[in-house]
Structure 1
Amino acid sequence: MSTDTPQDMDLSEPQGAQEARLPALHDPEAFWENLKPAAISESALVDNHLISVTRAHPAHTAFDMLRTRLLQALNEKDWTRVAVTAPTRGCGSSFVTANLALAVARLETVRTVMLDMDLRAPSLHDMLGVPATDSMADYLSGVIAPENFVQKVRPNLALALNDTASDTSAELFQNDITAEVLEELEEALCPELMLFDMPPALEFDDVLGFLPNVDAVLVVAGGGVSTAEDITKVEQILSEVKPILGVMLNKADGPVSY
C-alpha cells in the first residue's frame, strides 16, 4: 500500500514546493480527477441487461426506487458501505449491484465506488466490458496503490475490478490489511456510497469474514432459485453481525412490481 512519508519526499525541491503538493494527496476532488479513465462497453450493457443506463426497459424504475430508498436509509445512519450478497449462486447479485451503481451514478452529486469482492468468481469486469487492471487480492494485500488500481467510468462512478479468481478470499478478508486498504480508499475518494459485490453468503464464510468492513447488507433473492429457508437462514446469520437493509427479489415472474 502506497503512503507518502517525509522519507519519500524529494528533498532537492524547495520546501514550499513540497508543502504546496501535500494537500492534493488528501483532496478527494483531485483524486477523482486523476483516476484512470475507462469506458463501459455498449455491447456489454445490452448483453448483460444493464438497464439502468439506457432506461429503455420498464424494470429500470425498480432500480431507481431501490437507489432512492437505499440512499435515504444510508443518510439517516451516516453510512456509506453496503455489501450485496445472495443466499446461493444464480440469484443475480452482481446484476443487481451493477444496475444499482449505474442508477446511483445518474445522480451527479453522489459519488459511488463499486468493488468486485466475489474473488472466487469475479464477474463485474465481463458484465461491464471493462478490463481489470490487476488482481483484487493483490490490491487488498496492500501491494498496489489505489490510484493504480481503481478506474473511473463516470465522473462520479469508480470501479475496483478483478479478473483473477482466488480461493483464499475468506482469509484475506479477515486480514487487518484489508481493512486498512479500504479505509485508505474511502479517505482518498470520500464517496457517498461504496458497493461491495460479494459471493453467496451460504456457500463460504467470505461474507461473514468481510462484514466488519461494511455498514449494512443488501440481500438479493432469486425467483425460482432461492427458497424461503435460504432467505431466512441468510437473514439469521448476517443480521447477527450487521443490519440488513432489505431483501430484493430478482428474476421475479410477472409484471414489474416494487
Structure 2
Amino acid sequence: MTKDHLPSASNAKLLIDLGDEAQLLWNEMHEIDLDEAHLRANRIVTAQKNDPVHKRFDMLRTRLLIAMREHGWTRIAVTGVTEGCGASFVSANLALSVARMESVRTVLFDMHFTKPSLAALLGVKNPGRLSDYLAGHIAPEEYLIRVGQSLALGLNDTKVYHSSELIQQMMTTDVLSEMQDLLCPDMVIFDLPSVLDSDDVLGFLPNVDGVLLVVGGGQSLPEEVQRAEQALGDKTQLLGVVLNKAESLFS
C-alpha cells in the first residue's frame, strides 16, 4: 500500500468515532435474556450446542458469511415456498447461530405482518410494533431489543393487513437504510411470508442483497419450488435453498 492510500489521521479518527457511536446505540437497547427451556421447546437449537442439529445451521451461517463478505452484502431475506415451510424457524435458528459469534452484529426482523411468529418462537413478550418503527415514529435503539452483545431483534405481535403497501413505502426503505448507517450490522435477516402466497416478498426484494428459500420436506411440490425459484431468480440473488421438515437440514 502506498502512502497515498494510507488513511489520514483525521479519517482514522472518524472511523473510530463512527464505530464508537454505533456501539453506544447498541448499548442503549433494552437487553433481555431468552429462556433456554422455551427455546428448546420450540426447536430453536442454536442458542446452545446441546442438539447436534445446530451444526447444520452453523454450516449455513459460515457459508452465508463467507459469501456476504466476498460481495459486500449485509441483508438477506428468508422466505418459504408456501406457508408452513418453516421460514421463521430457519430465521430464528440462523440468527442465534450467528449471534454466538460476538464480533458479528446481527439484526433479525419479523416482516411476516399478517402472521408474526418470531416473538412467540423466542418467548419475547410485548415486543413493540414493527409498523411504528418502519413509519419512522421510533428510533432504532428504542425499538430494537438486544440479546447478548451482538443480536438485535425487531419483533412484532400485531397483525398488519396492508403489509404490502407498508413494505413498499419509501419510508420503510429510508428507515432500514438509517438503521444500517447507525448500527453498522454485519448481517440483517428479514423473516418474510412465503413467496407463492404473498406479494410482500417481491415488493421487499429491493431492500435485500439476496434470499434464502426454505423448502418444506414432504410438503413443497417440485413444481412449486420451481415456480418460487423462477419468481426470485430474475429479481435477486438466490443465496441457497434450505430443506426443512426432513430427516436432515441442509443448504
TM-score, scaled to structure 1: 0.87
Question: Gaps spanning 5+ residues in structure 1: where?
Answer: 1-22
Deviation string 1:102-124 (CA, Å, 9 cap, x unpaired) is 11111121110000000110000
Matching residue within 102, 124, 136 for 2:96: 102
> What are the residue-to-residue correspondences of 1:210-229 with 2, within 5 Å?
210-229=204-223
Kindly provide the amino acid, as one letter, of the partner of residue 69 in structure 2: N
Kindly provide the amino acid, as one letter, of the partner of residue 161 in structure 2: D
Residues 40-49 or 86-95, more deviating: 40-49
Give the aligned partner of residue 185 of structure 1: 179
Matched, 1:50 2:25: no
Is this contact kept in 1: 2:242–2:249, CA < 8 A?
A: no
Distance 1:28 1:236, change over 3 A: same
CA distance in 2, matches of 1:150, 1:41: 18
TM-score, scaled to structure 2: 0.90
| 3-state SS of paired residue (1:226) | coil
Give the aligned partner of residue 235 of structure 1: 229
| 3-state SS of paired residue (1:51) | coil
Deviation string 1:26-78 (CA, Å, 9 cap, x unpaired) is 81111111111122122321110111112222111100100000000101110
Shift of 1:220: 0.6
Deviation string 1:105-147 (CA, Å, 9 cap, x unpaired) is 1112111000000011000000001124321111111112212
Deviation string 1:163-213 (CA, Å, 9 cap, x unpaired) is 001111111111000000101111111010000000111111000000100
Matched, 1:59 2:53: yes
| 3-state SS of paired residue (1:53) | coil
Distance 1:32 1:165, change over 3 A: same
Is this contact kept in 2: 1:63–1:99, CA < 8 A?
A: yes
Distance 1:96 1:257, change over 3 A: closer
Shift of 1:257: 6.0
Matched, 1:69 2:63: yes
Matched, 1:128 2:110: no
Is this contact kept in 1: 2:26–2:141, CA < 8 A?
A: no
Is this contact kept in 2: 1:58–1:256, CA < 8 A?
A: no
Matching residue within 242, 250, 253 for 2:244: 250
Give the aligned partner of residue 16 of structure 1: none
Give the aligned partner of residue 28 of structure 2: 34
CA distance in 2, matches of 1:242, 1:226: 21
| Structure 1 consecutive aligned stretches of length 4 or more whose deviation exceeds 4 Å | 23-26, 255-258
- Identity between Structure 1 and Structure 2 (%): 47
Residues 91-100 or 40-49, more deviating: 40-49
Is this contact kept in 1: 2:45–2:93, CA < 8 A?
A: yes
Give the aligned partner of residue 191 of structure 2: 197
CA distance in 2, matches of 1:180, 1:153: 25
Is this contact kept in 1: 2:243–2:249, CA < 8 A?
A: no
Residues 204-213 or 123-132, more deviating: 123-132
CA distance in 2, matches of 1:163, 1:109: 29
Kindly provide the amino acid, as one letter, of the partner of residue 232 in structure 2: L
Is this contact kept in 1: 2:116–2:157, CA < 8 A?
A: yes
| 3-state SS of paired residue (1:62) | helix
CA distance in 2, matches of 1:132, 1:138: 14
Size of the alignment, in residue pairs? 235
CA distance in 1, matches of 2:63, 2:49: 18
Matched, 1:157 2:137: no
Give the aligned partner of residue 3 of structure 1: none
CA distance in 2, matches of 1:190, 1:40: 23
Kindly provide the amino acid, as one letter, of the partner of residue 108 in structure 2: M
Q: Aligned-residue CA RMSD in angstroms?
A: 1.6
Matching residue within 132, 137, 146 for 1:138: 132
Is this contact kept in 2: 1:40–1:130, CA < 8 A?
A: yes
CA distance in 2, matches of 1:150, 1:249: 30
